[in-house]
Amino acid sequence: MRHLHAEWTKLRTLPSTWWLLAATVALTLTVGTAAVSSVTTQACPDPAACHEDTVKLSLTGVWLGQAACLVLGALAMGAEYGTGTIRTTLTAMPMRSRVLAAKATALALLTAAASAVGILLSLGTARLILPTNGFEAPSLTDGPTLRAAAGSVLVLALVALLGLSLATLFRDTAGAITLGLGALYVVPLLANIINSPTWQDRVQRWAPIPAALSIQATKNLDRLPIGPWPGLGVLAAYAAGLLALGGVLFRTRDA
């Protein structure tokens, strides 16, 4: 508990933490609202025939909100290396594995809380907008909707841990953010550029974000390259694997 309290204190006293959490909520809500507002009966005269996945549409903002979560995760470790305060931390708490575990726990809980706010606001806004456009509003008590919402919260928390893992590996905030953003945005774009259906399918299955965002789908699940929970498992495996590798290096090399 001492380690967790210390990491929570450090995380909450960083001004950038609250700005980035606010950005996560704002981006998730704003982009999601814009997405559901774009669906009208002019574009689709018969809403029932369109089979529009309105739940997934309302959660579109996760695609952009994840960038703020990645930066927050990278700063949680990278800022200490950048200022040299990591030495003070390890002098006061020499059990490095506990330091990293406490940092990951505090980061994941705080990110999940902010993400839940953004997700709930996005779904609530969709319930107000979609009926005025002639579409059925997503039910917050529906099983697939709850799975998509909870899964989206987990996606953002795992992305934050991915940022933490990369910063622990590289001991550099800029390097962690650059590589992390490349994995989040550049790799998925390659799936649209590659002409090979085989490689497109592989990217959709094994790249962390395309696979993880399958958790948001509530319709036509049989057409997904990878199932919702296995897709989320791909991102979890990346985050856990890199965090474990970072933990090994964190324990064995000098601060």
In a domain, 29, yes or no: yes
In a domain, 7, yes or no: no
pLDDT at residue 9 in the model: 87
In a domain, 5, yes or no: no
pLDDT at 43 over 60: no
What's the total number of domains in the chain?
Answer: 1
Range of the domain at 209: 15-252
DSSP 21: H
* Locus of tokens 């290096």: 249
DSSP 13: T
CA–CA dist 67, 76 (Å, integer): 14
In a domain, 127, yes or no: yes
In a domain, 60, yes or no: yes
Please answer whether residues 155 and 232 qualify as being in contact, where contact means their C-beta atoms are separated by less than 8 angstroms.
yes
- Report pTM: 0.93
Summarised one tens digit per residue, pLDDT across range 103-149 is 999 999 999 999 999 999 999 999 999 888 777 778 888 899 999 99
In a domain, 230, yes or no: yes
Q: How many beta carbons lie within 10 A of that of residue 109, not counting itself? A: 14
Residues 6+ apart with CB under 8 A from 110: 8, 11, 12, 17, 21
Summarised one tens digit per residue, pLDDT across range 207-246 is 999 999 999 999 888 888 999 999 999 999 999 999 999 9
| pLDDT confidence tier of residue 255, bands split at 50, 70 and 90 | low
pLDDT at 45 over 70: no
pLDDT at 41 over 60: no
Summarised one tens digit per residue, pLDDT across range 164-209 is 999 999 999 999 999 999 999 988 887 778 777 887 888 888 999 9
In a domain, 128, yes or no: yes
In a domain, 6, yes or no: no
Which range among 10-14, 50-54, 198-202, 246-250 shows the weakest confidence by mean pLDDT?
A: 50-54
SS3 state of residue 84: coil
